[in-house]
Amino acid sequence: MTIIPTRRRWLPAGLAATVALASVGCGTTRTTGTARTGTEQLLLTTAWDKALMRVDFRPLTGVPVFLDTANVTAVDQGWVVSSLREAMLTQGVLIREKREQAQFIVEARVGAYGTDDDSMLVGIPQTSVPPTVTGIPTGTIPKLPLIERSRQSAVAKLALFAYDRASGQLVWSSGTVLDQADTKTVTVGGFGPIKSGSIQDGTDIAGFKIPMTEGDGNAPNASKARKPKPYAPPDLQTPSNLSDLDSFKP
């Protein structure tokens, strides 16, 4: 009887175990980033939505209008124009696809649509040590923050007016409407980040929502929106101003 040495007997088993372990738990995850951050997009569209909530289209209820958006230029063009149309339709305005089908022409314009940011640091900022004295090491001293705060905000400014297509007379104006949205991040002694703002539903710390907190008072929802005052232009419904209105009724 031939006896196989112990070392040779365990060699195949050890090799198999090594291959098995090497094949377990290996993998890669591919991540990508968009040209614009989700925070920036939320800030801008939230500011726009809050401003649009304050526009009262009810004086135009039941009137066929053409929405002219030639002067509406914004990075979120699709959202801006579509939300305008929805707001008008929701308040009873009759939108027509062609100018000749409308009684009124509603012209919209955007005066501001962008973001700003600012930051504050209480502590020692990052400092670079220049090579001035022989023997003193050069390099960068990292910042040592006690309190660090950053804030990003968005502003939206819009205005609309309507005129009679046949006479060219002004019949309605929204006035200038301005609103904003923001998000804030605070770190205290390395604790945080603590995030809050208009686009957050409450406050969270390092991604975890703080219990028993409510959404920001400026959060964009219809129940908290400021109610616009109805606009009633003089003699809006007089026959002289709306001479051919009946021919445009559905």
CATH number at residue 95: 3.40.50
Nearest of 113, 229, 111 to residue 160 by alpha carbon: 111
Q: Which helix (H) or strand (E) holds 193?
A: strand 191-197
* Mean pLDDT to the nearest integer, 81-97: 96
What's the pLDDT tens digit per position in 184-206?
988 888 777 888 888 887 787 76
More confident: 210 or 48: 48
Residue 26's pLDDT band (cuts 50, 70, 90): low
User: Is 76 among the domain residues?
Assistant: yes
More confident: 20 or 169: 169
How far, in whole angstroms, is CA 243 from its chain's centroid?
43
**Is the confidence at residue 97, as pLDDT, over 70?**
yes
User: Is 166 among the domain residues?
Assistant: yes
Task: Note the pLDDT of residue 171.
Answer: 97
Task: Note the pLDDT of residue 200.
Answer: 82
Task: Note the pLDDT of residue 250.
Answer: 43
**What are the two backbone dihedrals, phi and then psi, of residue 240, each rounded to the nearest 5 degrees?**
-65, -35
Domain count for the chain: 1
**Is the confidence at residue 120, as pLDDT, over 70?**
yes
Give the residue numbers spanning the domain of 49: 36-124+142-226
CB 226 within 8 A of CB 53: yes
Nearest of 195, 162, 133 to residue 59 by alpha carbon: 162
What pTM, to 2 d.p., does this model score? 0.68
User: Is 90 among the domain residues?
Assistant: yes
